[in-house]
């Protein structure tokens, strides 16, 4: 690729169906928009969110606990007085940032972050004034309760509503807390609403409907909200990350229940369906779902002037597919979707509309940057700022590649472990833990467990001559296809995958489980 190769794209639009209002037929060419992508600020350490001060300076949070001040694309300093945060996982740390809607008279910024311990995570909304690049008069105005257990996202996005109250998205904290999402005595898996001073409104919809609910509860049934934005009708949009599949774009209603985990298109990390149902009375259906998961994160509703043909569209960051999706929603239906960043190789954590009307995005990496999408073509002077694709190493150790790119996803971590497969060690672990109950040959007799010959690609619970436990008997919604990933998940926690399973062996640690799963799935290919 040449040094100055430009990421320059022209949108080709396909209008799906007749979703536009009658009498407002729009020609295909009117949706076309030329644009280019530039590196606005570089060398940021896991940046997470951005916001602008009235003078045009940009504030960016770094997950490990810093707030950088950016002016004209250059970091000119850090804010002092930033509260101490806990950043022990990709889901913790210093996260979102917003300025007060009345900043000129109330010079406050609002932060979301995590504190506590790895087993008791507390989400915090923090308010402070900015004075001479220092946070002063800082105060925790809201703490989530109960503390979240190990295993996943806690507090994430914050967003001001049209009445200047503040909504806050609180995640489900992983599988350990799924059972807490539908309960109304805690904040996990909810959107809460507070006033700017931290006091709680007396008209929060869930609390009004149920006097036993915590007073701050506004909406429920959410796994992990990765982005919030307000449209020009003052409607709140949320993008939600599912486990494996079940990613959602939701239009948030006050008092709405979005179903998780009772209603979901997602699968847990064993490959097992989370729910038998994807829609039911009393639950709000998503506007868009993605399966398998694309890991959406960050969203903005475009109202700027730089891209006239994109007005009213949603722009969503994607971690998994490493892109920004432009979506056109009409009558609560997706009629267009466009990938804006093909081949850029960047995980997108946040997307915002800047005061200049350009679209800004934050990349998730130890060498993170802020990119911005600009209309037209770059000038000769702009060429040196054109964003280059992330240089993915070839023929390198997977773990090192992921480290360089700042990737911290479960699936990819597992791939790194698989790369270190040791057949002798794997066979030893198998013989120590599995061979007494399971034969590797269908012809061998075993009165305890089913044989494991040709297990790769087989659906769980399908051998004709074995009496499986009730939870493992064939059911297309709860069964799994055995592969290295699902076998490893099962060996790590059999009862969590199939409650009541006859498996009596002690669960393996994750690394050993991966070795055995590789051993079993490779036997078929090696014979």
CATH number, domain with residue 344: 2.120.10.30
Q: What is the pTM of this model?
A: 0.75
* Statement to judge: residues 345 and 424 lie in one domain: no
* Statement to judge: residues 445 and 518 lie in one domain: yes
Structural domain contains residue 415: no
Q: How many domains does the chain have?
A: 2
* Statement to judge: residues 361 and 498 lie in one domain: no
pLDDT at 21: 40
Taking 3-state DSSP, the helix, strand and coil percentages for the chain, each rounded to the nearest 5, stand at 15, 30, 55
* Statement to judge: residues 361 and 462 lie in one domain: no
* Statement to judge: residues 377 and 442 lie in one domain: no
pLDDT at 318: 92
- Its domain, for residue 12, covers 8-388
The pLDDT averaged over each successive group of 10 residues in the chain (527 residues) is: 32 33 39 86 95 97 96 95 88 94 96 90 95 96 87 83 97 78 93 98 94 95 96 96 89 96 82 82 94 89 96 94 92 92 88 98 92 95 90 53 45 52 91 89 77 88 85 68 79 71 78 86 66
Domain boundary among 388, 405, 434: 388
pLDDT at 13: 32
* Statement to judge: residues 484 and 335 lie in one domain: no
Structural domain contains residue 43: yes
* Statement to judge: residues 358 and 464 lie in one domain: no
Long-range Cβ contact pairs of 124-133 (< 8 A, separation 24 or more):
124/83, 124/155, 125/155, 125/158, 125/166, 125/168, 125/194, 125/198, 126/83, 127/196, 127/197, 127/198, 128/81, 130/53, 130/79, 131/107, 133/69, 133/77, 133/78, 133/79, 133/80
* Statement to judge: residues 377 and 432 lie in one domain: no
pLDDT at 445: 64
Tell whether omega for the bond before 292 is within 30 degrees of 0, i.e. cis. yes
Structural domain contains residue 154: yes
């Amino acid at each position: 690729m040449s040094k100055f190769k430009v990421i320059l794209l022209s949108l080709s639009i396909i209008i799906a169906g007749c979703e536009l209002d009658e009498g407002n037929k729009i020609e295909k060419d009117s949706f076309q928009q030329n644009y280019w992508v530039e590196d606005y600020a570089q060398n940021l350490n896991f940046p997470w969110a951005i916001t602008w001060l009235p003078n045009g300076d940009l504030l960016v949070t770094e997950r490990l606990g810093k707030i950088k001040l950016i002016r004209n694309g250059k970091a000119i300093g850090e804010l002092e007085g930033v509260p101490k945060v806990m950043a022990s996982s990709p889901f913790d740390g210093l996260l979102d940032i917003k300025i007060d809607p009345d900043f000129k008279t109330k010079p406050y910024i609002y932060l979301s972050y995590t504190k506590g311990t790895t087993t008791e995570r507390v989400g915090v909304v923090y308010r402070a004034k900015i004075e001479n690049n220092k946070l002063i008069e800082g105060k925790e105005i809201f703490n989530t309760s109960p503390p979240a257990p190990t295993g996943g996202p806690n507090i994430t996005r914050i967003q001001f509503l049209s009445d200047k109250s503040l909504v806050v998205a609180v995640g489900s904290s992983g599988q350990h807390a799924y059972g807490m999402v539908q309960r109304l005595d805690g904040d996990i898996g909810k959107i809460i609403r507070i006033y700017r001073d931290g006091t709680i409104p007396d008209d929060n919809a869930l609390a009004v409907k149920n006097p036993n609910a915590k007073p701050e509860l506004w909406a429920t049934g959410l796994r992990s909200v990765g982005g919030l934005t307000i449209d020009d009708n003052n409607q709140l949009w949320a993008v939600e990350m599912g486990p494996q599949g079940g990613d959602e774009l939701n239009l948030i209603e006050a008092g709405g229940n979005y179903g998780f985990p009772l209603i979901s298109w997602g699968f847990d990390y064993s490959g097992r369906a989370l729910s038998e149902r994807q829609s039911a009375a009393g639950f709000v259906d998503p506007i868009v779902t993605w399966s398998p998961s694309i890991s959406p994160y960050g969203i903005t509703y475009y109202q700027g002037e730089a891209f006239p043909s994109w007005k009213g569209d949603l722009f969503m960051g994607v971690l998994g597919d490493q892109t920004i999706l432009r979506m056109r929603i009409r009558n609560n239906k997706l009629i267009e979707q466009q990938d804006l960043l093909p081949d850029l190789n960047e995980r997108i954590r946040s997307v915002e509309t800047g005061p200049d009307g350009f679209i800004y995005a934050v990349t998730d990496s130890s060498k993170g940057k802020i990119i911005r999408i600009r209309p037209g073509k770059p000038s000769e002077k702009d060429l040196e700022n054109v964003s280059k694709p992330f240089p993915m190493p070839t023929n390198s150790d997977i773990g090192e590649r992921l480290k360089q790119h700042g990737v911290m996803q479960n699936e990819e971590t597992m791939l790194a472990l698989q790369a270190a497969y040791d057949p002798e060690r794997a066979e030893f672990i198998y013989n120590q833990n599995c061979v007494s109950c399971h034969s590797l040959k269908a012809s061998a007799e075993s009165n305890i467990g089913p044989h494991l010959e040709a297990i790769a690609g087989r659906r769980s619970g399908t051998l004709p001559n074995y009496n499986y436990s009730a939870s493992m008997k064939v059911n297309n919604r709860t069964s799994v296809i055995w592969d290295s990933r699902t076998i490893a998940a099962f060996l790590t926690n059999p009862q969590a995958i199939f409650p009541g399973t006859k498996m009596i062996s002690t669960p393996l640690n994750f690394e050993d489980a991966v070795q055995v799963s590789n051993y079993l799935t490779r036997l078929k290919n090696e014979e």
